[in-house]
Amino acid sequence: MPERKQPKSKYTTDRQIPGAFEGETVTRRRFMSGTGLAVGGIASAAFALPALGFALGPVFEEFDQPWQPVGKITEFGSDTYVARTITLVPEIGDAGKSTVFMRRFNPAVDTEDRDEYNEYIAVSSACMHLGCPVNYVSSSQRFICPCHGGVYDFVGKVAGGPPVRPLDRFYTRVRAGIVEIGPRFSVNSELQRFSPRDPGEPLDGVGQYLYPSTPDLRKLDTN
């Protein structure tokens, strides 16, 4: 029958650890090292957890973008855009307003499926490079960004320059002959809809998985 091993003593002197003192179970050096690591971990968590919460918060947040009227259906044609001012953040005055470019759905150029939310096309004026405001030039049927030379075609797809994806859009609907604007959404190069992303975040390929959505489109209120 094999000889049974004696369990190790819990006392540091019995284990012949250098610098040990009678009656202690953990050396002072090991205790101080462990305490230092614990304090360092707590300090790191104090900095990291708020940053992580700030980054992931929008993923779980719900936010309703209210519908707002932008004009009668007779005010918008299908061959050019009409600029309208909408409110994105009502609590901050003019700083919370933005320009959108409006037109009626045109089967000759609009290749996406037609549904109740795109009878009228509403294109955001924020460039998808760094967010600078773009202008629509009717003579060339192009959206031009004056900051870094971004160019978009008539439907908002990238035609040149540094933007990483087409211009964002807004859901639209018609109520009693009035066109209303709802939540913003982003599109990839095929104009497929995605929850909103920030400028500079591509949506083609793996790009759609690399960047979290922003809260504008957590919930679409159809009332």
pLDDT in tens, 11-58: 555 555 555 555 555 555 565 565 666 666 676 655 555 544 444 444
Mean pLDDT across the stretch 122-148?
97
Q: CA 20 to CA 25: how far, in whole Å?
A: 9
Q: What secondary structure does DSSP assign to 181-202, as a single string?
A: EEEEEEE-TT--EES---TT--
Contact (Cβ atoms closer than 8 angstroms) between residue 134 and residue 152: yes
- Is the pTM for the entire model greater than 0.85? no
Q: Which has the closest alpha carbon to 131: 108, 114, 150, 155?
A: 150
- State the residue for tokens 């955001």: 124
Taking residue 184's Cβ as centre, other Cβ atoms within 10 Å add up to 22
Is pLDDT larger for residue 214 or for residue 94? 94
Model pLDDT for residues 201-222, shown as the tens digit of each residue: 999 988 888 887 765 444 455 5
At 4 the pLDDT is: 60
Residues of the chain with pLDDT > 70: what percent?
67
DSSP string, 97-116: EEEEEEEE--TTT--SPP-T
CA 113 to CA 107: how far, in whole Å?
10
pLDDT higher for 8 or 63? 8
Q: What is the CATH number of domain 68-217?
A: 2.102.10.10
Q: What pLDDT is attached to residue 39?
A: 63
For the chain, how big is the Rg over CA atoms in Å? 29
When the pLDDT of each residue in the chain is averaged and rounded to a whole number, the result is 81
152 - beta bridge partners? 143, 158
Q: Where are the domains of the chain?
A: 8-60, 68-217
Classified as helix, coil or strand, 58 is helix
